[in-house]
A and B are shown apart, each in its own frame.
Chain A
């Protein structure tokens, strides 16, 4: 008997067009289902429907039927389904309730009425399984993006659910961490539905693939070329001659915690360098040092020309009420340049839209336009493919390649496929974090 079934599900968010249209599927206990498809295609909404959050939390128009473990999600609230279903959301930063890791992992167990004596060992076990036992007493605010994603994954695995819904669970994990997280979910015994924008690993681990596009589920059809697994060949060209930025023996510590120690890197005009390495190994800090947002404790940074830095999750940091004004900020309000930059990232026609009305993928592209418009000599991009589907990644890689000759580009990424497509050479930060068990 199916663990979960979706029958003729159609759904629209309040005041919006249909997000899901006539979707049907059945999930068997223990099977792993990959949910692929372009951004905004309806993957996250389908996961929310399986968790009962659609329609209970979001409202909107809902038709059809969703059942999980015999419970009709229209009659059972998400909190009642919790435990049977566990959901990992896209943005780990927005799902954290407590300030310390151990309390965060214990939160779900407490809500489900787990006997008190069982809570600490189950929380510890879940953290250990995901390779994050050493983070147990750390404040959440001090974790890197990848470390936080591991903690959130431990929080849902600790619940030992029958249906595990993972919305881009590896978007901030390093390659080893991503592989181990998928394997851990697969071996948990739960039915797993995993939405991914880095499909390679999940395609290896899954039993079925569902492609969700424009609110409809396609199954059994060949995947579009961009979604097929690709081989990774990390490039290793010689460094370019004309250095735009040079970091010499640079060290940096947050309070007493050393993050970068004795790093040397040189970025030349015309080259794209991918900065890869394990979570928590100081990639973002190194990128900020290169861009001039941080000053090193020791060592020296030499920079020629203007540097621009695009932060992780840049869609969160938009300040104006129109897209063209947002982009024009970096060029003293020059709206003509701003519109050209918007067109270059595929946002022509979005000039008058409010940035917060855009989808998350559109916001990321808007933020990219906001740095490209300045035509910097040094462009630093921190995880620019987070939440970006493979087709958009190809477009981004092509755009960066076209613009590469005029500048030095540093791309911080855990996405080795993207690194191999876009970069001339790769630089790796050292291992800091304990590998996944």
Chain B
């Protein structure tokens, strides 16, 4: 399938997860998206899955402590300055689960977009706002690029006999990684300008025409949003 309708389909699923009111609906959407993500390359998907599932879990765990909903108290804790008494109610747990699943679904939709879609063809397919689409595609590449740079840094240090271990060791790589990203971004911007980027009258390489599947996917994406808002 062409990447543009596939991206629309993923966006439709993410929107449906955000619009749905029932936990079971959001959980079903997240499960579908998880299955889609598992089709991604094994070496790359781990980081995305950990990010999406981990952030959802964090929201589930933290929400009961920072919200005050409901009266079915399951656990009553100490009183903490600013936050007040730490109570966990059944309603807060339910809300935490709901918000956590929503975030997980959106994270998994992004993971599927990053892992499975051909971003080059997505940029080429953009009939309008091509510069914005290219910026998004370049932004999407930030994660794998940082991952590759981090692997390069770790390897370079291992080459000197220095092992990078533990959270502290890895945290020390953050500053050089960011500095490297900024340098790379400047070099890339210079190279793009030298190759005529931003000049009026740009054209596009021919793209394959859309078939029934592509049009159907686009229709389904719209339907998913409507279904999410009205019935889920």
Contact = CB atoms under 8 A, between A and B. Distances in A.
Interface of A: 51, 53, 56-57, 77-80, 82-83, 85-87, 89, 91, 93-100, 103, 106-117, 119-120, 123, 141, 155, 159, 255, 288, 291, 293, 306, 308-311, 314, 316-319, 329-330, 356, 367, 370-371, 374, 376, 380
A99 B156 contact: no
A123 B162 CA distance: 44
A379 B188 CA distance: 33
B172 A116 contact: no
8 contacts: A53-B190, A77-B193, A79-B196, A91-B187, A95-B187, A98-B119, A114-B203, A311-B155
Nearest to B182: A356
Nearest to A311: B156
B166 interface: no
Contact of B120 (A94, A99, A319): A99
Given A89-B191, A112-B196, A317 B153 contact: yes
Contacts of B194: 51, 53, 78-79, 82, 85-87, 89
A370 B124 contact: no
B197 interface: yes
Interface of B: 43, 118-121, 123-124, 134, 138, 141, 144, 148-149, 152-153, 155-162, 172-173, 175-176, 179-180, 183-184, 187-199, 201-206
**Interface of B: prevailing SS:** helix
B205 A317 contact: no
Contact of B193 (A53, A115, A308): A53
B156 A155 contact: no
B202 A97 contact: no
Nearest to A367: B156
Contacts of A356: 179, 183
Given A94-B191, A293-B155, A311-B155, A120 B172 contact: no
Nearest to B162: A329
Given A100-B118, A119-B203, A120-B205, A293 B195 contact: no
Given A106-B205, A314-B156, 11 more contacts: A53-B194, A82-B195, A87-B191, A97-B138, A99-B120, A100-B120, A119-B206, A288-B155, A308-B159, A310-B159, A317-B153
